[in-house]
Amino acid sequence: MISCVVPAFPDDVDIGVVSHNGRQTLPRLFECLAAAGASDDRIRIYDVGSTDGTKEWLAETRPNLVVKRFDQNLGPDPGRNWALRDATRPYLLLLDADALIYPDAPARLRQALDPAARVGTVTPVTLSAPDVIQYAGGGLHFICEAINPFFGKALVERGTNPLDIGAAPAVALLIDVKVAHHIGLWDDRYFIGKEDGDFSFRLRMAGYRLVEDPKALVEHATRPRSTWLFRHQIRNRWHFLLKNYELRTLIVLLPALAIHETVQFGTLTARGHLGVWWQALKELASWLPTLGAERRVIQGIRTVRDRDLLEYGPLLIRSDIVGGGVGQSLKRAYDAWLGAYWSVARHLLS
């Protein structure tokens, strides 16, 4: 007979839930946490400018729950940082409001988070539906885009062994609080887009491990994001590059970065989004005065070189941007060119 006993919720883990307009998903999240054995006294909600009645609903239905609120929607990162600063236990289970975590996942994540082995953060496999992968085995492409090799595949294809990975989504993470402070927390200017990759990169750059446990699972319903996200992605990607990459890396990758930006500019222009690109560029320029100081701080915690952090894989691009058969063929050719470029460039990095 197979045991269905859920392991006890770890004693040394706090829970921080970051929510924007989460009124519809929070009830299910609370059910998931209760099934995992988490009591309300270790849960804090960080509401980011919700306008859907979340504040009133929480006050009525869970009056003993600690709820902290931003009046404006500043993106999730200020809430994530607030949760890390508030944590009284050594580890924080950081969740989005729509992260439906499986009952045994917190205990599995805690078992995998071994500070003595320099594990700084552990992530579950994220599912879009039971047994269908949304995020797993992630990495950071050398042109600063996400690699998600198991997207849309069956869970069984991931295997059952924990792995060190290059990047993880911020849907659900178990974080060593001291490590998060050491690497500078989340960059709360990013609003959304590249913020989880930035956190993952700095974690690994500082010599900590990012581990994925495929037996720990979370479901995360998603919907296609509108074009408002493009501005944040473009701005944040260039800031990520300029802030985090070594100077030698930027020089070696400059031709590929220039071509990628040209391709991106042309694609967005063809799809009617030229204004978004210019707006992102203007916002990036406003961040440049502090870039030198940021680089000095970040490079000061570096123990791992870029050549050991960056990788190559097929780009994951929205189908409405790529287009039909011709677009798909061009993307495959572009992926092949990037792969050939990386096969040479990686040997030139320090």
Q: What pLDDT tens digit does each residue of the chain (350 aa) get?
A: 334 688 999 999 999 999 999 999 999 999 999 999 999 999 999 999 999 999 999 999 999 999 999 999 999 999 999 999 999 999 999 999 999 999 999 999 999 999 999 999 999 999 999 999 999 999 999 999 999 999 999 999 999 999 999 999 999 999 999 999 999 999 999 999 999 999 999 999 999 999 999 999 999 987 666 677 889 999 999 999 999 999 999 999 999 999 999 988 888 888 788 888 899 999 999 999 999 999 999 999 999 999 999 999 998 766 666 667 777 888 889 999 999 999 999 999 98
The per-residue pLDDT for 95 is 98
Do the strands 119-129 and 209-220 form a parallel or antiparallel pair, or are they unpaired?
A: parallel
The per-residue pLDDT for 3 is 43
How does DSSP assign 201-233, residue by residue?
HHHHHTT-EEEEEEEEEEEE------THHHHHH
Helix crossing, 26-35 with 54-61: angle to 10°?
40
The per-residue pLDDT for 1 is 31
Cα separation, 237 vs 3, whole angstroms = 46
How does DSSP assign 13-48, residue by residue?
EEEEEEESS-TTTHHHHHHHHHHTT--GGGEEEEEE
Please tell me whether residue 149 adopts helix, strand or coil conformation: coil
The per-residue pLDDT for 4 is 65
Cα separation, 121 vs 151, whole angstroms = 21
The β-bridge partners of 123 are 212
Please tell me whether residue 318 adopts helix, strand or coil conformation: coil
51-72 pLDDT, tens digit per residue, is: 999 999 999 999 999 999 999 9
Give rounded-to-5 percent helix, strand, coil for the chain: 45, 20, 35
Token pair belonging to 30: 């609370």
Q: Which residues of 63-101 are buried (b: 16+ CB within 10 A; e: fewer)?
A: eeeebeebeeeebbbbbbbbbbeebeeebbbbbbbbbbb
Domains identified in the chain and CATH numbers? 13-220 (3.90.550.10), 228-348 (no CATH)
Token pair belonging to 348: 């030139």
Cα within 13 Å of Cα(332), Cβ side:
5
| Residue 141 region by backbone torsions, left for phi larger than 0, else alpha for psi between -120 and 50, else beta | beta
123-181 pLDDT, tens digit per residue, is: 999 999 999 999 999 999 999 999 999 999 999 999 999 999 999 999 999 999 999 99
Cα separation values, 219 from 11, 29, 148, 175, 296, Å: 24, 10, 16, 19, 38
Token pair belonging to 244: 């985090």
What single letter denotes the amino acid at residue 269?
A: T
The per-residue pLDDT for 183 is 98
Report which secondary-structure segment, H or E, holds 292: helix 291-300
